[in-house]
Structure 1
Amino acid sequence: MSRVAFLLLVPLGAVLMMTPADVPAAQPAAEDVRFKNLFQTYLDDEFRRHPAFATQQGSHEFDDQLDDLSPEARAKDIARIKVLLESLATDIDFKKLSRGAQIDYEIWTHSLRYALWSSENDNRFEYDPRTYGEFISDSVFILLTQSTLPRERKVENAAKRIAHIPKVVAAAKASLKNPPKILTEVTIKRNLGAISFYEKDIYEFAKETPGTEPLATPCKAAVKALKGYQEWLEKELLPKSTGEWRLGKEKFAKKLELELDAGLTADEVVKIAEAEADRVEQEMYYVAKQLWSKLFAGKPLPPDDKAGRRATIKAALDELGKDHGKPDTLVEDAKKTVAAIKDFIRAKKILTLPEPDNCQIIAMPEFQRGFSAAYLNPAPPLDPKANSLYAVAPPPKDWPPARQETFFREYNSAMLQILTVHEAYPGHYVQLAYSNRHPSLVRKVLWSGSFAEGWAVYTEQMMLDQGYGDGDLSLRLHQLKFYIRAVLNAILDHKMHCANLTDEEALELLVGRGFQTEAEAVGKIARAKQSSTQLSTYFVGRTAFYRLRQNVQRKRGDTFDLGKFHEDVLSHGTLPVKYLPELVK
């Protein structure tokens, strides 16, 4: 998924909801209350120390402030986490907790251990300059776009928060060592977007007249600081950006275990993915073969061997890809996909859609581009009536026309429908709206990427299986293409960080085996260098949902109700997928 989040020092690990049998009675167990109060105290302290995190979670008490990101402040954060982990083992009697609270306890302690491991082995404040951009621009953007506070108050808070940007720049200069070159290059482009945001775009989002107070003065100071930062990035940091972006086999294996929390090793994930890629490619061939005579009347089907089957799939996708929009219509094209998808979900009783619908489709701001073509930033869990943002990114303006054309062949009319299913209905937007309803504070602020991405990928096939598109083979072929992308993501993730896969080899994997356009493949390779383990969450999560669905449907037999199953699954929050078999009977 492509959610913009302030991961800070505590990785967003997982969320869980209680089963109906575990829902606390009028007077919950004393140990459950102790645990709940302890987490509340912890979270209050986190919000006070990390205002950007508080805003992202929907707590607006500190919207006028910004984090202290100095090395000294971050060292104190780590020390507090170590003390907290030790005290939790003695302050809470695990055996006296209800099962629901026990899983909450496991989620919280897991996220704390992940934070400690990351600080020692994968410290993004030292190697990833993009991190500081989350505080420089994202923290103000979400304050203005994803809050239910009165507009005037949001503007006042934004003005005060912007005044702290020079301190963030100073912290970046003091902390960054020798980051990988690609991360510095992306930061340089994003920082230009941040400068543009504070020069003009912010007034549009704030609904203020350009150049007026209270934004004008702090924005001018921010622009000055960011222009100086731009010069530092280009002239000082870039020349010494010689760091290694590959995590290495040992660290990757441990980080993947912590990220997935699914009981799978790195070697197991890539082995399962390799087998699944072969299966999906065969299915794509069957669909492409059925399309052949309609797309290429009179032209003989290529030979039925490995090369011929891939040629058949590629030719069909190339021809279907010609039906696409333009850079200036991308957002409107995405909006046009929504009505039919929502109507289908209601008619087929896939699940109950959130009402009112607070999902807005926007063009991705320039300071967030360079990682993915789309994302869903959900309403904050503590401010659930705020807007959710489904953002799509047009290709960069400096791309030549031929490369822009390949982008739109990738995100053509059929693929845009699959993308909207994944990001919004019934994918990320719907799932995270369900997740925000649960009263458990642990489950509201900690979440599992494998659950979120797995659900979104699961819905792509499920919607077509239930009849969306009335059997349109173009939609089916693109759904399979989108799915094999998720499968190959896991393979790419592993081999880029563990097996020294070259860019040329990665390009062959994505273009030759995944049938991606060159522009999409180049972007995905860049993304693999900018992150580690996240690309594996799509496939692992989808596999868990698919297996759960099959097992539950077999056991329920004729009584199986798809809509009720979906709502049951989503009622448990965005939890580690390993808990699903226990919770969904």
Structure 2
Amino acid sequence: MLPLLLLTVPLMPTADPTGEDAKLAAAFQAYLTDEFHRHPAFATSQGNHEYDDRLDDLSPRARSEDVDRTKKLLTDLAAKIDAKKLTRSAQIDLEIWTHALKYSLWQAEHDSRFANDPRVFGEYVSDSVFSLFTQSTLPKERNTANAAKRITYIPKVIADAKESLKAPPKVLTEIAIKRNLGAIAFYEKDIFGLAGTTPGASELTGPCKAAVTTLKEYQTFLEKDLLPRSSGDWRLGQDRFAKKLELELDAGLSAADVIREAEAEADRVEREMYNVAKQLWSKTFPGKALPPDDAAGRRATVKAVLDELGKQHSTPEGLVDDARKGVEKIKQFIREKRILTLPDPDRCKIIEMPEFQRGFSAAYLNPAPTFDPKADSLYAISPPPSDWPAARQEAFFREYNRSMLQILTIHEAYPGHYVQLEYGNRHPSLIRKVLYSGVFAEGWAVYTEQMMLDQGYGDGDLALRLHQLKFYIRAVLNAILDHRMHCSNMTDEEALRLLIDRGFQTEGEAVGKVQRAKQSSCQLSTYFVGRTAFYRLRQKVQREQGDKFDLGKYHEAALSHGTLPVKYLPELVK
């Protein structure tokens, strides 16, 4: 058995290693040790591989025990850690940890995924095994042996799912049905390719065969039992949404603040998109008169130009290769313009998203785990699902055309998520690495899209700029959509009109985003809120420093404090 990797990671810095900072660090390490033992999938996701051969107990009884332990931990922290004796850095860590514990209790009481979201069990069924082969530095034979044992826990996970699920929203059950089919395909075939073995001569064969049998039975349960009783409401309602958003963002903003700022920003970005599209008009439609300069004409101008530019796109077979080809160009620009220092060695691997993970977003970045930092980070890109009709696949590629693919890569990888999270993994605070802020991560990624073009990436290509603005207004509209769908009775048709008319999204992309808003309340607001925080901080620091301002040093300073709530940035980045 491997030694506990947690013990080899340095503690948080402290002026007095025997003082209050050290007590906090020791308390968090003890907490993680217990969490890893009780939640093996979480341990694996953090790069601790001692429990890779097993899976969590997800029964209602075990989850109730988790809640009780969290309540006790909050009481113990208040009694045993004197916040006034901590350094300011450790005070921030304690605040982050306490906030995370309180948020988990609120979710357990008001927004229980295990009762209301069948997708969560799929993460244990397939994602927890997939990661053993893609994000572990252990020898492949060890990962294969661990996977073979972990797979034997799938029947228990499915039994816990059947016991836990009540009356989830129909949309979530429908997604779970599709993803479970992907999980069946994964265990029938795909896993053997990852392991470098064949189905007839692998220690995975028996466990996978049993898993497939269980998952096929679960498919019947999802379709025949759970779907008919999936009558839950995916809307949070105004009060629950406001509280959850406050907890999710931890940015010192209310739901009313966010929607007000997002609506004003959407108006501004629409005007900027029109100004760019107007400049592209004569090249895109030579000899054709520009539409009238009124609200309808301006939107018609932007839409027509985007539609024409969208014809330059990739194919299902070439999408991932096209992303790989664009990476070197982007990285070279970052080096030449001294945007920041890129991670060395570069451990970002660009892959095609597995079928069982598709249907939620076009791409994601899965960073190297905290306790296995030499593992690969995965930039996964999703071609359209194979069962989509040809017209819908074409619409997908028009949305993620060659210009948009470059913006996507900037966001997900360089200098977006991959680079930022590599910087985050360097910070010695375990609390900031394990309990990292999604608002910080998404905000940085969106900030880099405009910043890269402002610094000259694309050599002033207006088509690229128009797509950057389209990608950004998507982030702004995400916040508006998030609020309106959960706080009012906004219909699907009204949501589609918002995204298509104001966001210039294809119908297929808009349908997917409406589905996502139903599946992930409050997460869609993180992009806009985070980007606004980074943009305002940059303006403030640059005004203060004037000619002494160095963009690369500023970026490295902004990333040097870990992936923490953005409300701390003005205090820390000076």
Normalised by the length of structure 2, the TM-score is 0.97
The answer to whether the aligner puts 1:295 opposite 2:284 as a matched pair is yes
Contact 2:20 2:81 in 1 (8 A): yes
Please, which of 415, 419, 428 is the counterpart of residue 430 of structure 1? 419
The answer to whether the aligner puts 1:24 opposite 2:14 as a matched pair is yes
Pairing of 1:287-326 with structure 2 (within 5 A): 287-326=276-315
Contact 1:29 1:98 in 2 (8 A): no
Contact 2:180 2:215 in 1 (8 A): yes
The answer to whether the aligner puts 1:508 opposite 2:487 as a matched pair is no
Distance 1:505 1:213 in 2: 52
SS in 2 for 1:160: helix
Partner of 2:329: 340
Please, which of 470, 484, 490 is the counterpart of residue 473 of structure 2? 484
Please, which of 205, 225, 230 is the counterpart of residue 216 of structure 1? 205
The answer to whether the aligner puts 1:544 opposite 2:533 as a matched pair is yes
Contact 2:14 2:22 in 1 (8 A): no
Contact 1:29 1:97 in 2 (8 A): no
SS in 2 for 1:490: helix
Letter matched to residue 382 of structure 2: A
The answer to whether the aligner puts 1:66 opposite 2:55 as a matched pair is yes
Q: Alpha-carbon deviation of 1:369?
A: 1.1
Deviations 1:423-460 (A, max 9, x none): 00000000001101112111121111100000000000
Pairing of 1:26-425 with structure 2 (within 5 A): 27-28=16-17, 30-425=19-414
Letter matched to residue 215 of structure 2: L
SS in 2 for 1:574: coil
The number of equivalent residue pairs is 565
Contact 2:13 2:429 in 1 (8 A): no
Letter matched to residue 247 of structure 1: L
Distance 2:428 2:225 in 1: 48
Deviations 1:194-219 (A, max 9, x none): 00101110011112223323111111
Distance 1:61 1:408 in 2: 42
Distance 2:317 2:439 in 1: 33
Distance 2:102 2:542 in 1: 36
Q: Alpha-carbon deviation of 1:394?
A: 1.0
Q: Alpha-carbon deviation of 1:337?
A: 1.1
Deviations 1:259-313 (A, max 9, x none): 0000110011001000000000000000000000000111011111111100110
Which is worse superposed, 334-343 or 211-220? 211-220
Q: Which of structures 1 and 2 has the larger relative contact order (alpha carbons within 8 angstroms, sep 6+)?
A: 1
Contact 2:355 2:385 in 1 (8 A): no
Partner of 2:6: none
Q: Alpha-carbon deviation of 1:397?
A: 1.8
Q: Which runs of 5+ in 1 are unaligned?
A: 1-16
The answer to whether the aligner puts 1:557 opposite 2:546 as a matched pair is yes
Q: Alpha-carbon deviation of 1:398?
A: 2.0
Q: Alpha-carbon deviation of 1:108?
A: 0.3
Distance 1:206 1:31 in 2: 46
Contact 2:339 2:551 in 1 (8 A): yes
Distance 2:190 2:439 in 1: 34
Contact 2:250 2:565 in 1 (8 A): yes
The answer to whether the aligner puts 1:458 opposite 2:441 as a matched pair is no
Q: Which runs of 5+ in 2 are unaligned?
A: 1-9
Normalised by the length of structure 1, the TM-score is 0.96
**Pairwise CA RMSD:** 1.2
Distance 1:441 1:398 in 2: 42
Partner of 2:570: 581
Q: Alpha-carbon deviation of 1:414?
A: 0.1
